[in-house]
Chain A
Amino acid sequence: MDRRTVLKGLAGVSGLAVTGGLSMPALSQGAAARTLRFVPQANLANFDPIWGTQYVVRNAAAMVWDTLYGVDATLQPQRQMVESEEVSDDGLVWTFRLRPGLKFHDGEPVLSKDVVASLTRWSARDPMGLMLKAIQNELTAVDDRTFKWALKAPYPKMLLALGKNSTPCAFIMPERIAQTDPFKQIPDYVGSGPMKFAKGEWVPGAKAVFEKFADYAPRQEKASWLAGGKQMLVDRIEWVVIPDPATAAAALQNGEVDWWESPITDLVPSLKKNRNINVDIADPLGNIGSFRMNHLYPPFNDVKVRRAVLTALSQEDYMRALVGDDNALWKPLPGFFTPDTPLYTEEGGEILKGKRDLAMAKKLLAESSYSGQPVTCVVAQDQPITKAQGDVTADLLKQMGMNVDFVATDWGTVGSRRAQKTPPGQGGWGMFHTWHAGADCVNPAVYNAVRGTGDKAWFGWPTSANVEKEVAAWFEAKNLDEEKAAVKRLNKAALEDVVYAPTGFFLSYTAWRKNVSGIAKGPLPFFWDVSKTA
């Protein structure tokens, strides 16, 4: 082979490549008219809503898998796949009957055995499911459309457990899929929801496609969040993952996408100026900002230190750092539960109200066991919410005279480090920042972060017998008044023991083009009843 032969060969190959490219057909433009293009809050990196509990997975799963019950906009569980239910007088045996005509995407009917397998898998991972499992006698299929859940003790929150929207939801899958180990991913994505998942078109990190399921049997009631008739008015939904907010904003303005789930606050003014775009609050239940202190080690193992921090903490400082000057986007939160929901309370919230008292905080700190040791403050810089909160906290602690060891890192590292129970100087931590979706803070059943079960509690491992006593009281409550009374006491106890530090309540926007209609406000994007004109 000589040099001239190689050169001739290369010229031939490049010529072939060019002519091959030119001869390819162009894409059809007509398909776009019935397609909704949606930019999700994050990448759909996996698609097992029981194995992976990220919100983005839950949001996509709600289209593909249906639930037995669904929480509506009043936070009440309503029948969804279930036609009727009966509970025995002693509250120990629940019998459910499925609606007729339910089908999976592979054409098979939805049977009780599928439900039993799905609930078994779900109950191994979900906090409410685990409670049910602990008191379970048996969960069995009675016939094709009837199944029975027999318990050792009454569980009044059964319907909420089966219909809640906090992750993991009790999605119903075919038995063959639901028999997968709950700690391993499912191999197939067949559901009975209103949309089918186009597995072949899935490019994790870039695109996920959902196609209308023609045999879906919606309920007759009007849709409300996860409940009611889920009528699909588009044939195809394309999730387009755009990690850069500026690019997502430009794509929405340019008409390349139709709906952007979570525009960042900085870009909202420019979107509002665009006459082709609507911008509105996404979820009235919003989010609760927080930082958690490590209750196992000094200085935060001393409740006086934790109270000193709360005494000086200005929620307005945190919220301004998060949402800027838009007063419609935040409110103070002297408690732990989501504002404007039935159980919201400010009982015991005086420590977070009124003018912030730095002098008092310093006095409390002086009276505590704090002796100047560094506070390891671990802050993820790649999450705007944690970064903003971390900066405010570092300043707060310094003003109080505390010695801050500020560890700037990424969210992946925070996820790993916060699980370390070793002392802060040996790979552990003193505090970290996060936030909770308001929908997950509406009652104690779905609210891990407020629990005080010590070693079994969420990261920070707070121990609070008083909090746990009131959690039990809430579970046993017979009516809403009893629930409210229990949560009031719980809120007070959690603030007295400073289970964690709430930094305020904040909302976020969603944005869509004006040729799209039917977008409902809620804790997740609901695609039913959403239509699009050309």
Chain B
Amino acid sequence: MVSYILRRVLSTLPVMGIVALFVFSLLYIAPGDPAAVIAGDQASPADVERIRQSLGLDRPFLVQFGSWLWNIVHGDLGTSIFTNLPVAKMIAQRIEPTFSLMAITLVLTIFVAVPLGVVAAWKAGSWVDRTIMAFAVFAFSLPVFVVGYVLAYVFALQFEWLPVQGYTPLAAGLWPWLQNLILPALALGSVYIALIARITRASMLEVLQQDYVRTARAKGLGQQNILFVHALKNAAVPIVTVIGIGIALLIGGAVVTESVFAIPGLGRLTIDAILRRDYPVIQGIVLLFSFLYVLVNLMVDVVYTLVDPRIRY
């Protein structure tokens, strides 16, 4: 398994290289000028031009790309055009809120969606199944920001149980940390719960038709045992796949959720950087997300081997 993981890690390098070139090229041809944003509304065209020169944005494309790539290879993601802070530091400042939000959402999703899907499959065709699937359709259809606003209105403004916005680091304690993440995780997780519940139900329905399940029932095993020990384990591969693919969904959703709940995470950093054309920050974040996505896919492959010992590489 170790050699397999090593091979997979090495294979990510060309992928990351292509992503880097793509990102750099895209930003180069995209309209917009950070110098104009920096200069402000009262600056003269000459001021804008001087700022552009001081940022090195007047250099040819290949020179800029070469210089950027050289720095990346040496572990330097560059410096933000606007904040004058190292991009690595800015990402480090923002990584905890985003990862916390994604982790809570993921845990919430798995603990809610998988049992819902299992129960729906077990009670297929009954009112329980229809209720769960109706909820799934509903949750799937609602935009994240709508769910976010409704949750904030009800649980923060009306009941005053939870804060509307912000983030408290985990170092400040478990409950303060959780307090700020419950509503955003519910908002972000709603679509994800719906998706996983539906996939779990479909996968379980297929497995529950298998002979070995009938045998287990004939042996007199309890329903819980059959569902969660025998059937779910064998239905897990497509579920794990969708959970892995869904990480990309979470990253996209985090951008919106962080804006709605004013969480200082990578999503908001991305939006701010794009609106200001802060190229080094955009490039750093896209590279990080690409790396994460590749890593998640690698982990999914590893998990396959854990949930199904027959899978070997």
- A interface residues (Cβ-Cβ under 8 A, vs B): 1, 3, 6-7, 21-22, 24-27, 43, 45-46, 48, 51-54, 125, 127, 166-167, 181, 183-185, 187, 203-207, 240-244, 246-248, 250-251, 253-254, 256, 382, 409-413, 415-419, 421, 434, 436, 440, 448-449, 456, 458-459
Query: Given A27-B168, A254-B163, are A247 and B261 neighbors across the interface (CB < 8 Å)?
Result: yes
Contact among B41, B46, B165, B275 for A382, CB-based, below 8 A: B275
Query: A411 contacts B42, CB within 8 Å?
Result: no
User: Which residues, 79 to 118 on B, are CB-close (under 8 Å) to A?
Assistant: 80, 82-85, 90, 93-94
Contact among A240, A250, A409 for B156, CB-based, below 8 A: A250
Query: B40 contacts A167, CB within 8 Å?
Result: yes
Q: How large is the interface on B (under 10, 10 to 19, 20 to 34, 35 or more residues)?
A: 35 or more
How far, in angstroms, from A448 to B269 measured CA to CA in the complex?
A: 32
Query: B174 contacts A21, CB within 8 Å?
Result: yes
How far, in angstroms, from A21 to B169 measured CA to CA in the complex?
A: 10
**Min C-beta distance of B18 to chain A, whole Å:** 26
How far, in angstroms, from A51 to B84 measured CA to CA in the complex?
A: 11
How far, in angstroms, from A351 to B306 measured CA to CA in the complex?
A: 79
Query: A419 contacts B172, CB within 8 Å?
Result: no
Contact among B2, B157, B275, B306 for A412, CB-based, below 8 A: B275
How far, in angstroms, from A458 to B45 measured CA to CA in the complex?
A: 7
Query: Given A1-B1, A25-B173, A205-B272, are A412 and B277 neighbors across the interface (CB < 8 Å)?
Result: yes
Query: B31 contacts A27, CB within 8 Å?
Result: no
Neighbouring A residues of B275 by C-beta, 8 Å? 382, 410-412
Query: B38 contacts A52, CB within 8 Å?
Result: yes
**Chain A residue nearest in CB terms to B162:** A254
**Chain A residue nearest in CB terms to B172:** A27
Query: A240 contacts B166, CB within 8 Å?
Result: yes
**Min C-beta distance of A439 to chain B, whole Å:** 11
Query: B165 contacts A167, CB within 8 Å?
Result: no
Known: A21-B177, A421-B45. 17 other contacts (CB 8 A): A3-B305, A21-B174, A26-B173, A45-B82, A45-B276, A127-B42, A181-B54, A183-B54, A205-B272, A241-B264, A251-B262, A382-B275, A415-B37, A416-B36, A434-B41, A448-B44, A459-B45
* Residue B58 CB within 8 A of the other chain: no
Chain A interface mostly: loop
User: Which residues, 266 to 283 on B, are CB-close (under 8 Å) to A?
Assistant: 268-269, 271-272, 274-277
Neighbouring B residues of A244 by C-beta, 8 Å? 259-260, 262
Neighbouring A residues of B85 by C-beta, 8 Å? 204
**Min C-beta distance of B259 to chain A, whole Å:** 6
Query: Given A45-B272, A415-B36, are A250 and B152 neighbors across the interface (CB < 8 Å)?
Result: yes
* Residue B288 CB within 8 A of the other chain: no
Query: Given A254-B157, A419-B45, are A46 and B84 neighbors across the interface (CB < 8 Å)?
Result: yes
* Residue B123 CB within 8 A of the other chain: no
Neighbouring B residues of A45 by C-beta, 8 Å? 82-83, 272, 276
Query: B31 contacts A413, CB within 8 Å?
Result: yes
**Min C-beta distance of B47 to chain A, whole Å:** 7
* Residue B72 CB within 8 A of the other chain: no
How far, in angstroms, from A440 to B42 measured CA to CA in the complex?
A: 9
Query: Given A206-B264, A415-B37, are A167 and B84 neighbors across the interface (CB < 8 Å)?
Result: no
* Residue B51 CB within 8 A of the other chain: yes
Neighbouring B residues of A459 by C-beta, 8 Å? 45
**Chain B residue nearest in CB terms to A55:** B40
**Chain B residue nearest in CB terms to A415:** B36
**Chain B residue nearest in CB terms to A448:** B42
How far, in angstroms, from A27 to B170 measured CA to CA in the complex?
A: 11
How far, in angstroms, from A382 to B32 measured CA to CA in the complex?
A: 14
**Min C-beta distance of B258 to chain A, whole Å:** 9
Query: B48 contacts A419, CB within 8 Å?
Result: yes
Query: A412 contacts B33, CB within 8 Å?
Result: yes
Query: Given A45-B276, A205-B264, A243-B268, are A166 and B42 neighbors across the interface (CB < 8 Å)?
Result: yes
Query: A24 contacts B171, CB within 8 Å?
Result: yes
User: Which residues, 145 to 182 on B, are CB-close (under 8 Å) to A?
Assistant: 149, 152-153, 156-157, 160, 163-166, 168, 170-177
How far, in angstroms, from A22 to B45 measured CA to CA in the complex?
A: 56
**Chain B residue nearest in CB terms to A27:** B172
Contact among A53, A250, A251, A456 for B40, CB-based, below 8 A: A53
Neighbouring B residues of A7 by C-beta, 8 Å? 306
Query: Given A250-B153, A254-B160, A448-B42, are A26 and B176 neighbors across the interface (CB < 8 Å)?
Result: yes
**Chain A residue nearest in CB terms to B175:** A26
Please name the 6 residue pairs, one residue from A and one from B, whose CB atoms are nearest each other, closest first.
A206-B264, A416-B33, A415-B36, A53-B40, A412-B32, A185-B84
Interface centre among A166, A418, A434, by most B CB within 10 Å? A418
**Min C-beta distance of B79 to chain A, whole Å:** 9
How far, in angstroms, from A246 to B208 measured CA to CA in the complex?
A: 47
**Min C-beta distance of A91 to chain B, whole Å:** 27
Neighbouring A residues of B174 by C-beta, 8 Å? 21-22, 24
* Residue B245 CB within 8 A of the other chain: no
Query: B306 contacts A243, CB within 8 Å?
Result: no
Query: A254 contacts B42, CB within 8 Å?
Result: no
How far, in angstroms, from A436 to B272 measured CA to CA in the complex?
A: 23
Neighbouring A residues of B39 by C-beta, 8 Å? 53
**Min C-beta distance of B113 to chain A, whole Å:** 19
